[in-house]
Every structure is written in C-alpha cells, then in structure tokens.
Amino acid sequence: MNRYDSFLSAAARVMQESAIRRMGAVLGKGPEVISFAPGYPDPSTFPWEHFRATAADLLSGTDGSVLQYGPTRGFKPLLGAIVEILESRGITAATDELLVTTGSQQGLDLVARVLIDPGDVVLVELPSYVGALSAFNNVQASLVGVRQEADGIDLDHLDEVVGRLRAEGRRARILYVVPNFQNPTGLLIGTDKRTRLLEWAERNDFLIVEDDPYRDLYFDAVSEPDIRPIKADDRNGRVVYMSSFSKTLAPGFRVAWIVAPGPLAAKFELAKQAEDLCTGGFDQRMVYEAYRRGWLTRQIPMLRRHYQQKRDVMAAALDRELGDLISYAQPRGGFFLWATLPEHVSADTMLDAALRHGVVYVAGSAFFVDGSGHNTLRLCFSAPTPERIEEGVSRLAATIREAAEKPRAAAASPGRY
C-alpha cells in the first residue's frame, strides 16, 4: 500500500479520519453495543408517512426536472423557503447571498477551499466540531484553539491568542464558532458575547464562520433572544452563516445552506460547481415540500420535547450512577452532553474497556486542537431509546469506576486530534 504514498498530494498526506466516523465503524459491530458516539437524530422522529406520500408525488413521472441536474445555487423554491426561515431567525438575506449545500459539511468544505491557504491560521473553540476541524485540516490550515467558559468562547483568551499570533507575524482572519448548543459541549454563547464577538471581528478584520445546525432544538426556558444568530446583527458582512435540515428533518437528504456576502457566495458557487455541480434535486424537493406543506414547522416542537426527555433521562442516570465521579453542564438544547472525568482518568485509554462493557462514546481529546481534554468525553443522547440510555449509563458507570480505581500511574498521556 505504501507505494501509493508518492502519488498523494501534500493535502492528502495530512488528511485524518474523524474520530466520530471511526466510532461509526465500531457501531457496525452489533446492536449489543450501546452507542453515545455519533450525533445521529432519532429515526423514530422522521416523518415517514409524509416522506412516503411526497416521494410518491414527486416520482409520478410528470415532472422530469425532479431527477434532472439543477442550478448550483439550489432549487429556486427551496431558496425562497430558506429566505423565509432566515427571516424568522432575524437574518435578512438576498438571494445572491445564499447557496444550498450538500449538508453543512459541504459548507465547511467550501469555506475551507475559498477562504484558507495552506498555513493560514483558523481560530476554533476548545473543544470544537471535528467535521470542521477535518475540513480545515484538509486544506492544511493551522488550527489554533480558544478556550470556552460557561457562556461560550472566552473573549479575553481570544484577544490574547490574536495578540500572540500577530507578534509571531502569522496570518489569522477566520474564527469558527457553533454558538447554539455547541457540538461537542452543548454550550450556548451568551447574548452579550455575541454582540461583542461581532465588534471584535470588525475591530480585528476577521470573518466569523457561524455554524448553526441545532438552534431549533432548544429545551427548558431558552427563548429566541438566547439563540439569535450573530449573523442577525451583522451589518458589515463579517459573518458567513450556515445551517442545515439534517437535525430537524433527516440527515439522509443532505440538504443545508450557507449565507455569505455576495462576492463570497459567488466564489462558494464556483467551488461547489467543481464538487458536485448541484445538491440532489430530489432531496431538495423533499425538503421544500416538507416546508411548503407545513410539517417541517409542525414537527419542531415535538423534537424539542423528544430530545429534552432524553436529555433528562441521561442527566438523571448520570447523577444517580456517577454523581461523585464526573461533572457536566446540563445542555439546554441540541444532542450532546459533555462530561469531565477525574484528572487521572483518560477517556482515550478507557475506550477499550467501555467497548468490553458494551458502551461507546467519543473521547473528548478528538475535539481539541491543542492536545488537551484527555479526561473529557462527549455523550450523545439523541439516538438511543430512554431504556438504552439508562442501560448505557450503567455500563459507562462500571467502566469509569473501574478506570478511576486504577493506580494513577497507569493513566495514559493525552491523545491528539
């Protein structure tokens, strides 16, 4: 196999497998393993009946365009629907600022290709979404982390990091954030901080890449102002915003979108042309019909209740089984609960034992670009049933107790992304 190394591009040589995708392979080992690893929506929430009826209509054969190539920017009526959705989030977008993407993952790839040269510094949260880290890594970005606090990114540390980079003469002009129920921590960036971030971007000549797939999935007393996109107050074109239908409808359609100042959107369109010509036309129409017929909007309150209940089940089980050993902040929305283990326990080395106990998670170190986070882990509560969550937490508790009792010297060194 090694003989192909000489054929690889410099970019391909540094590509790395995502820790979450790797866990997906572990999942394939059988139903006896309870997985808290990938951030999958619960398929029982998919509106199957509606999908069947809409698919039958679309595939009646009367409209050839359903299975035809389409515009790179996206299916026009869907673009119109997205403009309305954005309006409801406080964002006014012109159609020349908008592009349908094949998942937000493609949006991240477009950002990487269009905005980043090899060696450019991209600032990311500590910890940050691994899919974004992969996209940026693939174009040979240099990833630099900024700490988070209870209300999201630490602005003092952000200034400190930028000051240091300037002093070193390094080019840094992009900050990537997930402000609502962040993957992996579940954190929300505070409202005041959002305003200050925007001011910071203007002062420092930065673009903010705002990735917002979870905002509709809030629990408890979260209200609209708490999840207002940074983009909503962006008067000077400092924010590239992306969101997705993956978490509210179904990720299998691979339909998402990106909003950016016109000149950047035009470049994203060119980059997308070379990636896939256009996002699948059938998929876009399915999503559009879900919006037009009203069932996308109707299903969101159900999703909030559904995932909040699962969050409650996981939190109660963790408190009961592991209250003395782990700490975590109660996520107020989204799919993820972020837990911290005792300092001497490594979530990386504990993974084998977890598998033996029949449970799997994503070790937190995968989300840190600075090699830290060895004693953290991400638990996703969205996909398993409440019964499986209870059982999975019991298995996790047995694993963690075993690991915590081992002599400290046995704990391994931190893993790296």
Ligand X SMILES: Cc1ncc(COP(=O)(O)O)c(C=O)c1O
Return residues touching ligand X (CB under 6 A): 39, 103-105, 129, 131, 178, 183, 211, 213, 244, 246, 251, 256
Q: How many Å apart are CA 331 and CA 351, to the nearest integer?
A: 23
Q: Tell me if residue 252 falls in helix, strand or coil.
A: helix
* Minimum distance from residue 353 beta carbon to ligand X (Å): 26
Nearer to ligand X, 107 or 415 (CB): 107
CA dist., res. 8 & res. 383, Å (int): 37
Nearer to ligand X, 254 or 395 (CB): 254
For ligand X, give the closer residue by CB, 331 or 414. Answer: 331
CB nearer to ligand X: give 184 or 414. 184
Instruction: Decide whether 253 or 414 has the Cβ nearer to ligand X.
Output: 253
Minimum distance from CB of 231 to ligand X (Å)? 15
DSSP-based three-state secondary structure for 89: coil
- Distances, alpha carbon 372 to alpha carbons 180, 347, 386, 414, in Å: 23, 11, 31, 6
Nearest approach, Cβ of residue 409 and ligand X (Å) = 36
Q: What is the torsional sign of CA 87, 90, 94, 96?
A: negative
- The Cα 281–Cα 290 span in angstroms is 14
Cα separation of 258 and 100, whole Å?
Answer: 6
Pick the closer one to ligand X by CB: 228 or 395: 228
172, exposed or middle or buried, with CB in 10 Å at 0-12, 13-18, 19+? buried
Q: What backbone torsions phi and psi does residue 72 show, to the nearest 5 degrees? A: -60, -35
- Minimum CB separation of residue 251 from ligand X in Å reads 5
User: Which of 194/395 has CB closer to ligand X?
Assistant: 194
CB of 354 to ligand X, least distance (A): 21
Cα angle for residues 45, 106, 177 (degrees, 5° grid):
85
Residues near 355 by Cβ (< 8 Å), separated by ≥ 6?
Answer: 26, 33
Question: DSSP assignment of 43-82, as one string?
Answer: GGGS-HHHHHHHHHHHTTSS-GGGGS---TT--HHHHHHH
CB of 191 to ligand X, least distance (A): 20
Q: How far is the CB of 230 from ligand X (least distance, A)?
A: 15
Query: CB 211 → ligand X: shortest distance, Å?
Result: 5
- Give the C-alpha separation, 191 to 229, whole Å: 9
Q: Are 413 and 348 a contacting pair, CB within 8 Å?
A: no
Nearer residue to ligand X within complex by CB, 322 or 380? 380
The DSSP code for 220 is T
Q: Which is nearer to ligand X, 341 or 380 (CB)?
A: 380
Nearer to ligand X, 183 or 399 (CB): 183
Closest distance between ligand X and the C-beta of residue 130, in Å?
A: 9
Residues 165/204, Cβ–Cβ less than 8 Å: no
State in angstroms the smallest separation of the CB of 7 from ligand X: 29
Give yes or no for a contact between 272 and 98, defined as CB atoms under 8 angstroms apart: no
Residue nearest ligand X by beta-carbon distance? 103
